[in-house]
Amino acid sequence: MERKISKFLSGLLRHFPQSFGIELNSYGWANFERVVEIVAKRYGMDKEDAKRTIEKIVKEDPKGRFELKNGKIRAKYGHSVDVEIKWSESKEIPPILYHGTSRKAINSIVKEGLLPMKRKEVHLSKSFVEALEVGRRYDNKPVVLKIDAKKMIEDGYEIRKKGKVYTTDYVPPKYIKF
């Protein structure tokens, strides 16, 4: 049940808040009690169980997808709705990051670089293994790209840390190793 609720929260807070009457502020924050009400109703739970379940998901999510603070909840990254996404938890960015993708996307990436596509930001991973896991969502034999994050930052590109994910607006081809 937690997995289903976690997936629903991702959709609710990243892609379709308006479908459930949720209002996100400019930074993606929603009223926590309203989210609890929606989850309780959708999954046939009482509000206290829904609240505890959501709090547990936020606390234990291995990818750090959500944040809960001052009676508000948000998804940290992955939005397709219009929210201000240019914030970071840390200024320390690893010199090398990775991106998992499908084999069919490679030709486009070689020409255009990494673009956000349906999301607001390009997602990067700290490890090869994490990027491989992400890439498997799109291809059973994904390609993992190595990104020269250090050089990107030196050249003026911004990379942000959000939970276990790193995001940027764009990765030009010259920073990508295949």
Can you tell me the distance from the alpha carbon of 15 to that of 90, in angstroms, rounded to the nearest whole number? 25
- Residues 64-115: tens digit of each pLDDT: 889 999 999 999 988 888 888 777 778 899 999 999 999 999 999 999 999 9
Residue 120: pLDDT band (50, 70, 90) is: confident
Q: Is 90 left (phi over 0), alpha (psi -120 to 50) or beta?
A: beta
The owner of tokens 């034999």 is 141
- Domain residue spans of the chain: 2-75, 96-177
The owner of tokens 């926590």 is 32
Give percent of the chain with pLDDT exceeding 70.
Answer: 99
- Report whether 57 contacts 130 (CB < 8 A): no
- Residues 150-165: tens digit of each pLDDT: 999 999 999 999 988 9
- Residues 133-147: tens digit of each pLDDT: 999 999 999 999 999
Can you tell me the distance from the alpha carbon of 132 to that of 122, in angstroms, rounded to the nearest whole number? 15
Give percent of the chain with pLDDT exceeding 90.
Answer: 83
Domain 2-75 has CATH 3.90.78.10: no
Can you tell me the distance from the alpha carbon of 135 to that of 34, in angstroms, rounded to the nearest whole number? 34
Q: Which amino acid is at 101?
A: T
Strand ranges (E), 15-163 = 30-31, 66-69, 72-75, 96-101, 122-124, 143-148, 159-162
- Report whether 169 contacts 116 (CB < 8 A): yes
Quote the Cα angle for 96-164-45, to 5°.
Answer: 160
Reported CATH class of domain 96-177: alpha beta
| Structure confidence at residue 90 (pLDDT) | 80
Mean pLDDT of 48-61: 96
Provide the 8-state DSSP code for 45: -
| Structure confidence at residue 147 (pLDDT) | 98
Can you tell me the distance from the alpha carbon of 89 to that of 101, in angstroms, rounded to the nearest whole number? 25
